[in-house]
Amino acid sequence: MNVIGSKPDGWWRDRPGAMRRLAAQIADWADGRDVTIVFDGKPFDLVADGVAVEFATRRGPNAADDDIVRLVEAATEPNELRVVTSDHELSRRVRELGAEVISSGSFRQMFGA
């Protein structure tokens, strides 16, 4: 959600639509990369070819952040992971586990959104 929120384009008027657009943009960019998107909020049908889309396993503050940390903790090679976020606390948590962090704005620039 940091990536969606990094561009004030009215996404808040249609949150599911913004999530679908971002997932489609990332799927186009991914080109064979292993990518997982973790969204906050109530799950709904969202498919992006070649990209894993997950929703936070619980509701509330830091729900998706906690799931992202669990994914990094479970990784065999966490130093090969890149987490996209502008959240300072999430950045700290995943860096301590060995993952690299890319800011939401920098990531948007990578795929031209």
For 59-104, the pLDDT digits (tens) are: 998 999 999 999 999 999 999 999 999 999 999 999 999 999 999 9
Q: Which CATH class is domain 2-110?
A: alpha beta
Of 17, 62, 64, the closest CA to residue 44 belongs to 17
Of 81, 111, 90, the closest CA to residue 1 belongs to 90
Q: Give the rounded percent of residues in the chain with a pLDDT score beyond 90.
A: 76
Of 70, 67, 107, 72, the closest CA to residue 86 belongs to 107
Can you say how many angstroms the Cα of residue 84 is from the centroid of all Cα atoms in its chain?
A: 6
Query: Could you state, in order of their start, the residue ranges of all structural domains in the chain?
Result: 2-110
